[in-house]
Structure 1
């Protein structure tokens, strides 16, 4: 995914770094990238009307995640987070994400995370809802890096 370009990601979300994102070494702390991933994916789902964070019967829980870091970022960088889906299963979705500094083509970090869809009350896996599946189908990639 290090060689990926913006064109490899069907959705790009804009994210502004914050002062608090920097650590004592003067760059965005590694754990903060995961919040960028969550923000980009959940923003996509909310904008398409398939995620109701407060009242939805079905929710996606993160069960696996990872990230590789290639170039440092720091406040006040503006970012674009590329999002694609590499696997759309019965009850799970694997997202691949890439972090780009605004205006640059070089990937600064690339990662993944997996949502398992569950019934909010029972916390048991359920099928990805049809509306969600349709929204995610627009993000499917043919090959992964």
Structure 2
């Protein structure tokens, strides 16, 4: 092996994410082709971000006066998934603004042993709006403090 191949073998992409959130695939996540349908990946990302926020802040974020709405998403697919795969979503924050959070996410499949295999990467943008008027507002203090722990140093 060359030096660069050695480095690639030792590189663990999951280590680039300050938090991992477990997700289980479900029987109905598979499509006609026998793998997890592409749209379901977005559900995994949404579930992980909101589940992590609720667990970390101890709040039911649905009841806050300001809520995060998804303004943008993207997904790059790297590996096929299928039920009954067990997954981990890697969470990090690419940019923490005053009214929005840009998440950098990754979806990993648990493999044999403790190895995680990269299945997809995503960009996920939450814009905070007033729960009643839907007008942009500052990120709630508790959400901002939690998100700060996921910020990737540039």
The TM-score, its normalising length taken from structure 2, stands at 0.86
Q: Which runs of 5+ in 1 are unaligned?
A: none
Q: CA shift at 1:93, angstroms?
A: 0.3
Q: Is the 8 A contact 2:24 2:85 kept in 1?
A: yes
Decide which structure has the larger Cα Rg and report it: 2
- Count of residue pairs brought into register by the alignment: 141
Q: Is the 8 A contact 1:42 1:51 kept in 2?
A: no
Q: Which has the higher helix share?
A: 2
Quick check: 123-132 or 65-74, which moved more? Answer: 123-132
CA distance in 1: counterparts of 2:47 and 2:17, whole angstroms: 16
Aligned pair partner of 1:60 in 68, 76, 92 = 68
Aligned pair partner of 1:129 in 134, 140, 143 = 140
CA RMSD of aligned residues (A): 1.5
CA distance in 2: counterparts of 1:5 and 1:68, whole angstroms: 15
Equivalent residue, structure 1, for 2:34: 26
Matched, 1:113 2:124: yes
Q: Which runs of 5+ in 2 are unaligned?
A: 1-10
Aligned pair partner of 1:39 in 33, 44, 47 = 47
Task: Detail structure 1 runs of 4+ shifted over 6 Å in the superposition.
Answer: none
Q: CA shift at 1:131, angstroms?
A: 1.6
Q: Is the 8 A contact 2:53 2:61 kept in 1?
A: no
Quick check: 47-56 or 121-130, which moved more? Answer: 47-56
